[in-house]
Structure 1
């Protein structure tokens, strides 16, 4: 006897993806929140607060006094528009070779988006009681950190822990180089990392939401 109702051979609705999408979105939201908190905290505690500002300046002065200014400048000379452009092209190319066009777009969005946010903040924020222009966040550290994040995005999942360690290492080197060269304070470095974290979270969340949109069914 045939059952009164049977499941259709072809489902009427696309099945929800069985993946870690909810966890990925939660991680992206957390990155956005922590990134924004890092930027705001760096500015409030190390720029607006007189005690924090004095401590921030003292750390930079100590860093510039270790006698490695020329070495720091040598490192920073590697972070230029040609170098960054080549790195972006290579990383996007790796993503395309792996058949991940979305990750290639993500590479460009993370690097360009983070730098735009950094330059907007640098132009809009002020340092009280100072004739100096605002240096928060660091543009050089933003570039290096965003390239590190882009590397993590494009490599296979098994290589992501190693890529993450490499990203942290080169970002740390860039941050120290900006301080020993006398270009930036610790708060500038932390704010740059916060900008990259928030931007990466926004790009990741946007990609996840776009992939989750229901696709129109063919007739």
Structure 2
């Protein structure tokens, strides 16, 4: 009989992280499914359905009637190509400085991928019985939300709750700004969040499937 004290042990840092990896993949798949369901639900309930469309339009009228259009436009002016490009460079630089080249690639893939999906949806979907161009999803909210998720991805684990809180706050401000400025309906904002959720799931799932990405959890 081998004494317990003499029994061979396996260093914790050398133990495989299969359960954690599996949970991450499941979370990524769920993010994709939830994001797709959000976009489809927003379009069906708030665009295709006449009652939902009327409610969505009424919400937009209420938002534009609060008299904050100027403030909303000033907020939206900050979300331009130069600002977004600078933010992507900074976030990518933070990831590289931490030795996480995979996260730097994820930042670019997330921001560009989400925006491409949004623009394709906006061009392909239609508003029935309306001469207006389709505005779902919101491109501005997609940019801000995807940058917020990218921030959470690149900061150290200990700072992620704070980064997530800041990202949610800024995304919320951007969403409200698009409505009070009269640019987007609530459904456009919700659909943009769905696009970002689905794109995040795809990007993180693709990263998890790449070989050679085992890293200590503290990073």
| Cα pair distance change 1:18/1:26, threshold 3 Å | closer
Count of aligned positions: 201
Q: Which residue of 1 aligns with 2:167?
A: 167
Cα displacement string for residues 59-82 of structure 1 (whole angstroms, at most 9, x for unaligned residues):
010000000000000000000000
Q: Which residue of 2 aligns with 1:183?
A: 183
Distance, in Å, in 2 between the alignment partners of 1:38 and 1:212 is: 33
Query: What CA RMSD, in Å, does the superposition of the two structures yield over aligned residues?
Result: 1.6
Q: Which residue of 2 aligns with 1:39?
A: 39
Distance, in Å, in 1 between the alignment partners of 2:84 and 2:52 is: 33
TM-score norm. by structure 1 comes to: 0.89
| Cα pair distance change 1:44/1:212, threshold 3 Å | farther
Q: CA deviation at 1:211?
A: 3.2
Structure 2 counterparts to residues 65-144 of structure 1, below 5 A: 65-144=65-144
Distance, in Å, in 2 between the alignment partners of 1:21 and 1:107 is: 20
Cα displacement string for residues 143-174 of structure 1 (whole angstroms, at most 9, x for unaligned residues):
00000000000001111111111111111000
| Unmatched runs of 5 consecutive residues or more in structure 1 | 1-14, 215-219
Distance, in Å, in 1 between the alignment partners of 2:180 and 2:46 is: 18
TM-score norm. by structure 2 comes to: 0.89
Structure 1 segments of 4+ aligned residues over 2 angstroms from their partners: 15-19, 211-214
Distance, in Å, in 1 between the alignment partners of 2:169 and 2:55 is: 25
Distance, in Å, in 1 between the alignment partners of 2:18 and 2:141 is: 37
| Unmatched runs of 5 consecutive residues or more in structure 2 | 1-14, 215-219
Q: Which residue of 1 aligns with 2:205?
A: 205
Q: CA deviation at 1:20?
A: 1.2
Q: CA deviation at 1:122?
A: 0.2
Q: CA deviation at 1:212?
A: 6.4
Larger Rg: 1
